Amino acid sequence: MTAAEPMLSGPAFGPVSKGPARQLVVLLHGVGADGNDLIGLAPHLAEVLPHAAFISPNAPERYDMAPFGYQWFTLMDRRPEALDQGVRKAAPVLDAFLDAELEKFQLDDGALALVAFSQGTMTALYTALRRPKPCAAVVGYSGALLGVENLASEIKSRPPVLLIHGDQDPVVPFAALAHAAAALAANGVPVEHHARPGLGHGIDGPGLALGARFLIRAFGVQEP
Q: Say whether 118 is catalytic.
A: yes
Cα(135)–Cα(176) distance, integer angstroms: 23
Q: Say whether 169 is catalytic.
A: yes
Task: List, in sequence order, every residue forming a beta bridge with 26; answer none if it has no partner.
Answer: 55, 114
Q: What is the largest CA-CA distance in the chain?
A: 46
Instruction: Choose, from 169, 193, 194, 204, the residue flagged as catalytic.
Output: 169
Type and span of the H or E element at 211: helix 205-219
Tell me the three state secondary structure of residue 41: coil
Cβ atoms < 10 Å from Cβ of 110: 15
Instruction: Choose, from 37, 118, 142, 165, the residue flagged as catalytic.
Output: 118
Reference 117, options 7, 13, 218, 204; nearest CA is 204
What one-character-per-residue DSSP string does 97-137 give? HHHHHHHHHT--GGGEEEEEETHHHHHHHHHHTTSSS--SE
Tell me the three state secondary structure of residue 139: strand
Instruction: Choose, from 44, 193, 194, 201, the residue flagged as catalytic.
Output: 201
Cα(143)–Cα(100) distance, integer angstroms: 25
Cα(204)–Cα(159) distance, integer angstroms: 24
Q: Which active-site residues does the annotation give?
A: 118, 169, 201
